Every structure is written in structure tokens, then in C-alpha cells.
Amino acid sequence: MAQARGQSRDSRRAVLLGLAVVLWPLAGVAVAGMFLSGLALAVAVAAVSGLGLAGIVVVLRAIACRRTVASIVADEGGGAMLEFVMVLPIALMLVLLMIQSSLLMVGNVCVNYAAYCAARAAVVTVPQYAGVEEPHNVVGLSPTAKTERIRRAAVWAVTPVSCSSPDLPPRDAELNAPLANLFDEYAATPPTWIGNIISRKREYADRYTSIELAAPANGAVYADNENLAVTVQHTFYLAVPYAGWLFAKMDSDNRENLDFGAGELGLVIRAKQVLTNEGVADFVAPDTFE
């Protein structure tokens, strides 16, 4: 009798410990969503989810080690199955959160690289002559020829991490023909992903990427060797089921409802880069005679 009561107490302790280990990661994710956003939120959720999964594995291993062969044979109540059913949904959610967190961290890296690409484009585009309205070191109100060239540099940089949903129309003109020609040069058949995946990624990147070029210091004309600050904003597609929805709930300030599919969500990622204006015009100024 005493042995049975002792086993009952041990069983209750194991259940309580298991519940604590299983539930604390979810509490940690909720707390992170209250105080963090952007990259910090993604890193925190990934860390908490990883620790939670490790804790679940340790507890399950400890429970398995304490169970004797006799107790397993005598267990007719389906205790092992109950433990599995209790743990699986939460463990699966933690795995999905880790995957979405990893994708968001990669997205942040790519958007920061896109800001660098846009700034590099700006330092050689701003000094150019793009018509009477945009002469040397003058940029008109967006969208203009100069701002579009800067934005396109950012669009190409984020294309690899963009969405390729079949609900997006493929963008053929700029991408399909050059890639197909490349395969033709090697007498190879162009793969189907050229028209199906890459083109839709390019469409998404173009639709959900914007740039902002800081105004000149004097308010009108950029000076030679003046610092040019370019901010890139990209709406990163939340591709992982359930985890993407949870991230959108936690980071509601950066959430955006996408205009394709059914209930598709994205998180806005921003990055800023500052480079020095080259200040070199790409044309020869006409001579003036008095």
C-alpha cells in the first residue's frame, strides 16, 4: 500500500513537472511578444522555443528512465499515450515558431543587405542627369527615374526571400527571357521554376518593397560628398502556418495584411544605410560664352 502511494506521488510530481516544462516556453513567448518587436522578437522566440524543446526532451527522458518494465506492462491506462498527446501539440508549435523565427532572421539580413544595395545605387544615381526636373545632385519627389532605380536595387536584393505564391502573377519581362537565354547557351532546357517561382518572387518583391531617400541637408540640392541615407522597407511574408499568425499578433505594429490569397500576413522590416555621395556628374556641362 505504501509503495503504491509513493508511486502515485511520484507520478503526480512527474506530471506537474512535465506541465511546468511544457507550458513555460509558451509563457516566455507571450512575454517576449509584449515587450519586443522585429529582429529582437524573432531572436527571443527562437531562443525560448529551443530551450523549451530541450526541456521537454529532458523531462520525457527522465520519465522514461524512471519507468520499470513491470510498470510499463501493468500500465493499462494509456499513460504513455496521454503523455504523448499532451506534449505533441506544444512541441510542434515550438518547432513551427523556431522555423518562422529563423526565416525572419534571414529576412532581416536580406533587408539590411537591400538597404546597402539601395545606398550604393543612390551614391551613383543622385549625381546623374536624368532630365530637366532631375539634374545633377537633384532628386524629385518619388516616384521618379532616380528613386525608381534606387528602389529596384533593393527589390533585386530581397527577391530570394520573397513569396512565390501561385496567387501572384508572374513577372516575365525582366527575368524569364535572360534566364532562359542562359540555359539556351548551354543547350539545356530551361527549368520550370524560372516561370513559376522566380518570376512570382520578383513580383512580390516589387510589390512590397519601398525606399525613402533622406532630403538634402540644405533642402534642395545634394552636395558633393554629402552623406546619403536610404531606408528600405520590405514586408516579409509569414509563410509558416500558425506560427506566422502568432508572430503577426505579437508584433501588431509591423503587421500587414497582404492583398493576395486568403488571410495572408506579413511583417514590415526596415533597414537604413548611409553612404557618401560620389558627387561626380556623368555628363559634360555645356560651355557658356558671354
Record the cell numbers describing residue 172, joined without a space: 516575365
pLDDT over 50 at 3, yes or no: no
Q: How far apart are CA 86 and CA 67, in angstroms?
A: 18
Instruction: Give φ, ψ of 233 to 5 degrees.
Output: -120, 125
The confidence score (pLDDT) of residue 82 equals 59
pLDDT over 80 at 252, yes or no: yes
Cα atoms in the 13 Å half-sphere on the side-chain side of 42: 21
Record the cell numbers describing residue 273, joined without a space: 544605410
pLDDT over 80 at 206, yes or no: yes
Q: How far apart are CA 273 and CA 40, in angstroms?
A: 19
pLDDT over 90 at 268, yes or no: yes
Residue 194: Cβ within 10 Å count: 19
**What mean pLDDT value characterizes the chain?**
82
Percent of the chain exceeding pLDDT 70 equals: 78
* pLDDT, mean of residues 199-207: 92
Instruction: Give φ, ψ of 65 to 5 degrees.
Output: -70, -30
Q: Which residues contact 213 (CB under 8 A, 6 or more apart)?
A: 122, 139, 142, 147, 150, 228, 229, 230
pLDDT tens, position by position, 70-94:
455 555 455 556 566 667 788 888 8
pLDDT tens, position by position, 111-166:
999 999 999 999 999 999 888 889 989 998 878 999 999 999 999 999 999 999 98
Q: How far apart are CA 230 and CA 41, in angstroms?
A: 24
The confidence score (pLDDT) of residue 265 equals 95
Buried b / exposed e over 85-105, threshold 16 CB at 10 Å, is eebeebbebbbbbbbbbebbe
- Under the banding of pLDDT at 50, 70 and 90, the label for residue 186 is confident
DSSP letters for 228-245 = EEEEEEEEEE--STTHHH
The confidence score (pLDDT) of residue 85 equals 64
Of 28-37, 134-143, 164-173, 276-285, highest mean pLDDT: 134-143
The confidence score (pLDDT) of residue 71 equals 56
- Under the banding of pLDDT at 50, 70 and 90, the label for residue 193 is confident
Dihedral over alpha carbons 52, 56, 58, 59 (to 10 degrees): 130
pLDDT over 70 at 254, yes or no: yes
Residue 280: Cβ within 10 Å count: 12
The confidence score (pLDDT) of residue 89 equals 80
Provide the 8-state DSSP code for 255.
Answer: E
User: For the ranges 57-61, 78-82, 116-120, 189-193, which has the lowest average pLDDT?
Assistant: 78-82
The confidence score (pLDDT) of residue 190 equals 79
